[in-house]
Amino acid sequence: MSGEANVRTLTVDGEEISARADQTILEAAREHNVGIPTLCHLEGLSEVGACRLCLVEVKGARRLLPACVTRVEEGMEVTTHSPKIDRYRTMILELFFAERNHICSICVANGNCELQSLALTLGMTHVEIPYQYPQLPVDASHPRFTVDHNRCVLCTRCVRVCSEIEGANTWGVMGRGAQSLVITDLKEPWGDSETCTSCGKCVQVCPTGALFEKSSVGSKVRKHPEFLPYLRIMREEDQA
């Protein structure tokens, strides 16, 4: 990876930074302590560019671009925060909050929820659009874990970690649009799943209170998604 050809110089919010050619805007920005909000992104998993919170302005691009999948380019001029972008992000967060049931005070993830922290960071103090409150099921058939679809933001981290890291492919998505649901196997109860290894990775990577361990009581449900990059490095070393 050495050699000057692999280095790109770009401007992020007016600051000139350098990055490796294979890095995304998000990676480069975070390395230089520039905060870009994300929800579906998780280090160690593939990118889907679905939550739209990491959209940034790139000079010359016709549209806003998701920082998590856009590669750095020489001379790129990136703006990560502007009144317009901040307004869009707040609105997107409101859409998340209004979509299902995200009442923090009665959620197991209260205090340890990425959606909640995003609202705090971005200053989204209240939701102006009507709450949808669909009546969605809760599946507590698994001996150790529970899935509460009312808290799910459909980031598909569980689907990706199950497929890419555990290799079990238990999780999937069914339905479309607002009717989408994450499911285990062919929508069988989680407890009946023959593919689930009960490894609990999905629970650890879930950003909200949608997936949680049964023993957890409110505010004790701290999750540890940071294991992923280490696991990946260990595996790569194993293979080498």
Task: Report the interface residues with another protein, using CB under 8 A.
Answer: 47-52, 55, 63-64, 66, 69-70, 87-88, 91-92, 95-96, 98-99, 128-130, 132, 153-154, 173, 175-180
Closest distance between another protein and the C-beta of residue 168, in Å?
A: 18
Closest distance between another protein and the C-beta of residue 176, in Å?
A: 5
Q: Which of 83, 75, 82 is nearest to 11 (CA)?
A: 75
- Judged by beta carbon, residue 98 or residue 140, the one nearer another protein is 98
Torsion, CA 95, CA 96, CA 98, CA 104, rounded to 10: -140
Cβ contact 173:181 at 8 Å: yes
Q: Rounded distance, CA 3 to CA 17, Å?
A: 17
Cβ contact 182:149 at 8 Å: yes
- Judged by beta carbon, residue 18 or residue 132, the one nearer another protein is 132
Cα separations in angstroms, 101 against 81, 149, 150:
28, 9, 5
Closest distance between another protein and the C-beta of residue 92, in Å?
A: 6
Closest distance between another protein and the C-beta of residue 128, in Å?
A: 7
Closest distance between another protein and the C-beta of residue 131, in Å?
A: 10
3-class SS at 12?
A: strand
- Judged by beta carbon, residue 90 or residue 193, the one nearer another protein is 90
Task: Concatenate the DSSP letters of all residues of 15-67 into one string.
Answer: EEEEEETT-BHHHHHHHTT-----SS--TTS-----S-TTEEEETT-SS-EET
- Judged by beta carbon, residue 45 or residue 92, the one nearer another protein is 92
- Judged by beta carbon, residue 107 or residue 154, the one nearer another protein is 154
Which residues on adjacent β-strands are paired with residue 138? 148
